[in-house]
Structure 1
Amino acid sequence: MSATTITLLFLLFAVIMFVLEKIPLGVTSMIVCIGLVVTGVLDIKTAFAGFIDSNVILFVAMFIVGGALFETGMANKIGGIVTKFAKTERMLIVAIMVIVGFMSGVLSNTGTAAVLIPVVIGIAARSGYKRSRLLMPLVFAAAMGGNLSLIGAPGNLIAQSALEEINMEFGFFEYAIVGLPILIIGILFYATIGYRLLPDHDVTEESGFDTAKDFSDVPAWKQWLSLIVLVLTLLAMIFEKKIGIKLSISGCIGALILILTGVISEKEALKSIDLKTIFL
């Protein structure tokens, strides 16, 4: 069997498994990677070269930088301030989508959704609104917000890696040329037509999420430093060509500052890294 045929068969297997999700996505990725080595299509060095790609390092660093914002409770504080001004369910949905959309653009859409789901469930419990009506806009906003920047979604950096091989690249916020209009249209849709289409049912089972996590014992300086480091890291990435520091290095510097200053512990930093995304 030719190398081309073997590659196409593994590609077909990966597509089917990604759609069905019968086994974890990361495991599917590793089966394909190892399978191509065993069948002789790739050598070991080539097969695992992606793990030391600068974009993978950037993802790891930004998971830590974003994780600090969540672990210190700063993300909850930002969400609470904005949603406090939402007087109706419709306004609350718009507020949630704006927060999640823009956070997904500068952090990670997967991580943002995972962390803010329990926050929104808690908001639903306090406000009396149906959680089913608040969670659907949150997930869509996270998906659309991931297209605002280079680091918003895994696919963005995968595309960047491919372009770098032909001496081309995207700017940090170049995705926003398309992503921002999509996010705005999505928010407007859920504020009007989509608002009437949202699921409206009660949830009887107990939630598996911790909706009342207490951040009162976290010092204010840790919360503000996590936000300051995030902003400075993003600015360094935006002006990458001006300062001459690569995106991955800027991300690593931000992550190291947060760990060395004690804003986030090593254990929390490791926990914040989404290994599924890294394997993919």
Structure 2
Amino acid sequence: MSPMIIAAIILITVVVMFFSPKFSNAAVCVIGTIAMGLAGFLPVKTAFSYYTSTSIILMVGMMVVGGGMFHTGLAGWLGRKIISLTGKGERNLQLVAILAGWIMSSVCSGSASMMILYPIFCSICLAADLSVNRILLPMFTGIGFGSFMTLAGSGMCSATASILIESGYRGWGFLEPAWFGLPKAILMTVVLFFFMHKLLPSTYVAPDAAEAAKAENLPQNLNGKMMISGVILVATIVGMVIDSPVCPMYMCAAIGGITSVVLGCLNEKQMFASISWSTVFLIGGMTAVAKGVEESGLGAALAEKIISLAGNNASPFALIVIIYLTTALITQFMSNNAAASLMAPIGIAIAKSMGIEPYAFVAATLFGSAIGCLTPMATPALGFIMEGGHYTPKDIFKWGLVECACSCVVALIVIPLVWL
């Protein structure tokens, strides 16, 4: 059996397991790593080295820094201050929900942002007698905006950066995802300003009183530990933006994370709890699988097939559109991290076959995975929002179509201009 056939069997098995609810994403990625190692596509001794790549160290370090903000109360204080900038009218709250989610998820993980903001908005809706389903989807969308403001904002950014580095190219710059994230956030906010009232359900959903009570425990004033956490965050981000060869981005994140622990912003137990281990295993495992696909020659074969189907004279832009739309489709039914990781090596192989740099093609996989918003399977936070706001699948699909349209417009303009 040829190496490409073996690699194809492994890849198909991994994809099928991703689609099945019986297997956790982390377990699937470990199985994929083991299979690629035993098949000889990866050196067995170093097969699991992808789980400690520089991109994962960066991501873990920022998770710990964000955890310090959460445990000192700085994140909660910041969330309360952002929301206090507006009145309690529905339109004002919707806009501030977008803004609050955007800012919070730029410095904290999406899950932490959700945990902080959800009780606050439940409390405000309860006091103002507003339906919570008029607020939660705007908040979710805002949290999605922040995920593409920095390299550390989402697992997809880290995953595609790791695959680029393992293929011999540079990873993303710390602020590089914002080329897409910022225009998308602006366009989507403008569209929602005019059409949000038509997209959200009109049925009344009472806020969760138990969640609203949690907002009462958020700090009202800054204290010493909160200020220390804030200084660590700012210093870490400044170091990442500078990205000095002496202290590169991943080292800045590691320093920021351990400083948060040493200075008491969170303890060791809280540090480990702040790390999304499933995301670590997913990114590490899928980087290993991607490397196996490349080494087996399967990536190049798939690239040649895509090019032949598109036509031998197909332009790079046409192929970028194909990769983008393919990733956008599969991310509706599996983890967006996995979707980006599966498609990135194919994008790199297409670029190599055309003799050009791969950044535009990998960016297409990254930003294609950003529109996992039509079903809750791509983004667990969407499932939480559906339950809290009693949204129907039709509500989610209608809202998601608008977000998909905005994402497509921005991505297919920005990617060729910035990376092609």
- Measured against the shorter chain, the TM-score band is 0.7 to 0.9
Residue number in structure 2 paired with 1:143: 144
Residue number in structure 2 paired with 1:186: 188
Q: How many corresponding residue pairs?
A: 279
Aligned to 1:262, the other structure's residue is in SS state: coil
Question: Quick one: which amino acid aligns to residue 267 of structure 1?
Answer: K
1:19-53 deviation digits (Å, cap 9, x = unpaired): 45443222222222223334444343342121121
On the 8 A contact 2:77/2:218 being kept in 1, the answer is no
What is the root-mean-square deviation in Å for CA atoms of aligned residues? 2.7
1:42-75 deviation digits (Å, cap 9, x = unpaired): 3433421211211111111110101111122222
Distance in 2 separating the partners of 1:217 and 1:179: 31
- Larger displacement relative to structure 2 (90-99 or 104-113): 104-113
Return the index of the structure with the highest Cα Rg: 2
**Displacement after TM superposition at 1:171 (Å):** 2.1
1:182-213 deviation digits (Å, cap 9, x = unpaired): 01112222222133211344457968858516
Q: Which of 224, 227, 231 does residue 227 from structure 2 map onto?
A: 224
Distance in 1 separating the partners of 2:219 and 2:184: 37
Residue number in structure 2 paired with 1:30: 30
Residue number in structure 2 paired with 1:66: 66
Write 1 or 2 for the structure with the bigger share of helix: 2
Residue number in structure 2 paired with 1:75: 75
**Displacement after TM superposition at 1:124 (Å):** 3.0
* Percentage of matched positions with identical amino acids: 27
Structure 1 runs not aligned, ≥5 long:
none
Distance in 1 separating the partners of 2:121 and 2:14: 33
Structure 2 runs not aligned, ≥5 long:
283-420
- TM-score normalised by L of structure 2: 0.60
Residue number in structure 2 paired with 1:7: 7
Question: Quick one: which amino acid aligns to residue 27 of structure 2?
Answer: V
Q: Which of 268, 271, 274 does residue 270 from structure 2 map onto?
A: 268
Question: Quick one: which amino acid aligns to residue 142 of structure 2?
Answer: A
Distance in 2 separating the partners of 1:19 and 1:174: 31
**Displacement after TM superposition at 1:4 (Å):** 2.1
- Larger displacement relative to structure 2 (82-91 or 149-158): 82-91
On the 8 A contact 1:97/1:141 being kept in 2, the answer is yes
**Displacement after TM superposition at 1:277 (Å):** 0.8
Matches within 5 A, 1:104-115: 104-115=105-116
Distance in 1 separating the partners of 2:176 and 2:196: 28
Distance in 2 separating the partners of 1:12 and 1:255: 37
Shift in CA distance, 134/76, structure 1 to aligned 2, threshold 3 Å: same
- Larger displacement relative to structure 2 (3-12 or 251-260): 3-12
Question: Quick one: which amino acid aligns to residue 171 of structure 1?
Answer: G
Shift in CA distance, 219/205, structure 1 to aligned 2, threshold 3 Å: closer
**Displacement after TM superposition at 1:121 (Å):** 3.2
Distance in 2 separating the partners of 1:19 and 1:55: 26
Distance in 1 separating the partners of 2:126 and 2:16: 38
Aligned to 1:148, the other structure's residue is in SS state: coil
Distance in 1 separating the partners of 2:232 and 2:13: 42
Shift in CA distance, 184/17, structure 1 to aligned 2, threshold 3 Å: farther
Distance in 1 separating the partners of 2:212 and 2:252: 32
Distance in 2 separating the partners of 1:91 and 1:145: 20
Aligned to 2:135, the other structure's residue is in SS state: helix
Residue number in structure 1 paired with 2:389: none
